[in-house]
Amino acid sequence: MRDDPRPLEADDNLQFPITALREIKLLKLLSHDNILRLEDMAVEHPPRSNDVKRKRPIMYMVTPYMDHDLSGLLDNPSVTFTEPQIKCYMLQLLEGLRYLHDQHILHRDMKAANLLINNKGILQIADFGLARHYDGPTPKAGQGGGDGKREYTGLVVTRWYRPPELLLHLKKYTTAIDVWGVGCVFGEMLTGKPILSGDSDGHQLDIIWDLVGSPTP
């Protein structure tokens, strides 16, 4: 469950985390039914008393309240998704992701915990702290992920949702890394548990090769 507003505390130099600032900037540009909306910002200044330990301001990101995150629902033994529900959530997830990619944005942390769902069955993509603008080519179906134009850090995407190109340290990646994560989420909804749960990057690759086969030369 996502409790809103979301607090962001400044560091000792009164600077807010760069990932938070990037997320705020991106969210202000986005508008889609399946993307978590940034409605407002609020700042809580510390009390002026010298006796108070907290001396740094806290900024809050105000977003609509969402009752659950997908990971929490999947971990709940009393919750079982029907096939129509899975289809409904996957449609919303893919619509949201298509919008992001049409806006030239890589999410770079697609996973069940970053997908929020309310009690009306609306799914929204959240957590854009690792997101970046993307101006490279869009991969075509059946032709693999392809190479991007520019280099990005490979230290993105939670391991169980990380595609082979990131595990192999490719830095010129494309929107395909988000699509891989969506596939992992789809499998997780079908089985009720993560389908690629490696203990290390090497183990993660082994599990992927066992499932889909090793890459061709």
Instruction: Look up the pTM and report it.
Output: 0.84
Q: In this structure, what is the dihedral angle of CA atoms 56, 59, 60, 61, given to the nearest 10 degrees?
A: -150
- How far is Cα 174 from Cα 161, in angstroms, rounded to an integer? 15
- Supply the pLDDT for residue 15: 59
What is d(CA 176, CA 138) in angstroms, rounded to the nearest whole number? 8
Domain ranges in the chain with CATH number 3.30.200: 6-62
CATH topology for 6-62 is Phosphorylase Kinase; domain 1 (3.30.200)
DSSP 137: P
Mean pLDDT computed over 164-175 = 91
Task: Sort strands 58-62 and 105-106 into parallel, antiparallel or unpaired.
Answer: unpaired
Q: Among 2, 1, 63, which Cα is nearest to 28's?
A: 63
On whether the 68-212 domain is CATH 1.10.510.10, my answer is: yes
pLDDT in tens, 8-41: 554 545 456 777 788 888 899 999 999 999 988 8
What's the average model confidence in pLDDT over 71-86? 95
How far, in Å, CA of 149 to CA of 131, rounded? 17
The one catalytic residue among 11, 33, 75, 109? 109
* pLDDT, the chain, mean: 86
CATH 1.10.510.10 in the chain, residues? 68-212
Nearest alpha-carbon partner for 70 in 163, 161, 150, 166: 161
The yes-or-no answer on residue 109 being catalytic is yes
Distance from C-alpha of 174 to C-alpha of 50, rounded to nearest angstrom: 51
* pLDDT for position 146: 66
